[in-house]
């Protein structure tokens, strides 16, 4: 595919016109810290307020109703949600039209960039997030249009799906994250896809990596992982798909069939020299009395560091921490390395298969399902 426009020129223009809030972003406190999982990036985000996961879910309900109640800080335009795009956005140079999956999408650069050239691709139609075959195909279209960028999708369920689930979108950019550089812990064989290189990433969360040159085979393998995971239960480690009778809410398997209730995937794709790397982070959004914000979410003892949803950017190892963490560091005498270590504990909480004996045994049981 041919690049539809010069991303460097578009990014520069977005900065010059104030669509990218460089002055606000410059206020953020950023550093890297070495952990047992590698060098990770930590940011204390002083440019945006913290949101509670329950308020995020409420915002999604309002957006789903199509209520034009959001005023975009970059343009002043009124939208149903922060990601609704209009002809006026294209006309003023805020957004560019693109096509993914044979449908009209748009791309703009995030006003509150979490990394260099942080871009967002969103459907022109206001519709909910979905992880299925169509989403995987669109990710491959996106890296085909912009081969120097990664593209990934938040999961499509509350609590584990980032901050905006009411509008189908991807995030991307030229940044390389710690997870994408992490080595494999062990190889995996996916039934019917022996030609696709697959493995478990050595990362605090539970991530299956697919590598290869053949787009169609990688999409097929990703669908096989999704279909196995979205109906998978393991009571020994608290994994409950919630699937009964093959029906659920809005969430879907790879072919669009309604089957998922609690289990889904956060996918991230990049391509280099014609070789695709597709990372699939397994997610589960169950709750219980002890963990009302999510069993596989930051546990309460870590809420002084992170309480918001863990979206795809943080899955990959870039912490987006609220302003109050600066005060917490001072009050508790925490160093920057301390904060980095605590953030990785947050990711360990979000991992569905822990890195202890019980978790490794549970992972093997799931892999047997894939390998049969």
Its pTM stands at 0.91
| Position with higher pLDDT, 368 vs 248 | 368
| Lowest mean pLDDT across 44-58, 96-110, 158-172, 309-323 | 44-58
Q: Is the pLDDT of residue 56 over 60?
A: no
Beta strands 207-212 and 119-123, pairing class: unpaired
**Rounded mean pLDDT of 77-98?**
92
Q: Is the pLDDT of residue 75 over 90?
A: no
What average pLDDT does the chain have? Answer: 90
| Lowest mean pLDDT across 105-114, 247-256, 282-291 | 247-256
Residue 45, C-beta contacts closer than 8 angstroms, at least 6 positions apart: 28, 112, 114, 320, 321, 322, 323
**What secondary structure does DSSP assign to 257-273, as a single string?**
-B--SSEEEEEEEEEET
Find where tokens 């149903």 sit: 80
Predicted confidence (pLDDT) per residue in 150-174, tens digit: 999 999 988 898 778 889 999 999 9
Return the pLDDT at 249.
39
Return the pLDDT at 250.
43
> What's the CATH architecture for 12-371?
2-Layer Sandwich (3.30)
Query: Are 129 and 169 spatial neighbours (Cβ–Cβ below 8 Å)?
Result: yes
Inter-helix orientation angle 336-350/324-332, to 10°: 120
Q: Is the pLDDT of residue 36 over 60?
A: yes
Predicted confidence (pLDDT) per residue in 230-275, tens digit: 999 999 999 999 886 444 334 556 766 656 689 999 999 999 999 9
Query: Are 17 and 5 spatial neighbours (Cβ–Cβ below 8 Å)?
Result: no
Q: Is the pLDDT of residue 321 over 60?
A: yes
Query: Which letter does DSSP use for residue 182 in this model?
Result: P
Q: Report in angstroms the alpha-carbon separations of 358 from 120, 161, 204, 232.
A: 38, 26, 15, 17
Return the pLDDT at 78.
84
Q: Is the pLDDT of residue 59 over 60?
A: no
| Lowest mean pLDDT across 48-57, 335-344, 360-369 | 48-57
Helix (H) or strand (E) holding 9: helix 7-16
| Position with higher pLDDT, 105 vs 77 | 105
**Rounded mean pLDDT of 61-80?**
70
Predicted confidence (pLDDT) per residue in 7-34, tens digit: 999 999 999 999 999 999 999 999 999 9
Q: Report in angstroms the alpha-carbon separations of 135 from 139, 153, 357.
A: 6, 8, 34
Return the pLDDT at 3.
82
Return the pLDDT at 122.
97
């Amino acid at each position: 595919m041919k690049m539809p426009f010069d991303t460097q020129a578009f990014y520069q223009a977005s900065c010059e016109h104030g669509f990218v809030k460089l002055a606000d972003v410059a206020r953020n406190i950023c550093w890297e810290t070495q952990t047992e999982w590698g060098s990770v990036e930590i940011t204390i985000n002083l440019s945006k307020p913290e949101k509670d996961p329950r308020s995020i879910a409420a915002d999604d309900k309002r957006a789903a109703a199509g209520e034009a109640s959001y005023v975009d800080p970059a343009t002043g335009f009124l939208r149903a949600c922060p990601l609704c795009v209009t002809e006026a956005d294209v006309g003023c140079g805020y957004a560019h039209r693109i096509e993914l999956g044979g449908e009209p999408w748009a791309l703009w650069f995030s006003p509150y960039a979490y990394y260099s050239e942080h871009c967002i691709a969103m459907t022109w139609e206001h519709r909910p997030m979905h992880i299925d075959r169509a989403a995987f195909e669109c990710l491959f279209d996106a890296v085909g249009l912009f081969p120097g960028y990664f593209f990934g999708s938040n999961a499509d369920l509350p609590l584990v799906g980032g901050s905006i689930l009411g509008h189908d979108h991807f995030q991307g950019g030229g940044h390389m994250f710690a997870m994408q550089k992490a080595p494999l812990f062990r190889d995996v064989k996916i039934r019917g896809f022996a030609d696709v290189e697959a493995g478990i990433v050595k990362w605090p969360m539970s991530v299956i990596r697919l590598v290869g040159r053949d787009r169609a085979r990688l999409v097929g393998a990703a669908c096989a992982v999704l279909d196995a995971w979205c109906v998978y239960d393991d009571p020994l480690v608290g994994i409950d798909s919630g699937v009964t009778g093959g029906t659920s809410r809005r969430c879907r398997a790879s072919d669009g069939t309604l089957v998922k209730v609690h289990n889904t995937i956060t996918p991230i794709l990049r391509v280099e020299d014609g070789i695709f790397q597709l990372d699939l982070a397994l997610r589960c959004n169950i709750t219980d009395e002890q963990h009302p914000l999510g069993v596989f979410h930051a546990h309460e003892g870590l809420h002084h560091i992170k309480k918001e949803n863990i979206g795809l950017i943080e899955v990959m190892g870039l912490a987006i921490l609220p302003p109050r963490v600066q005060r917490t560091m001072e009050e508790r005498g925490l160093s920057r390395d301390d904060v980095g270590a605590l953030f990785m504990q947050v990711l360990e909480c979000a991992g569905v298969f822990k890195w202890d004996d019980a978790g490794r045994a549970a992972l093997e049981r799931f892999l047997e399902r894939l390998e049969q």
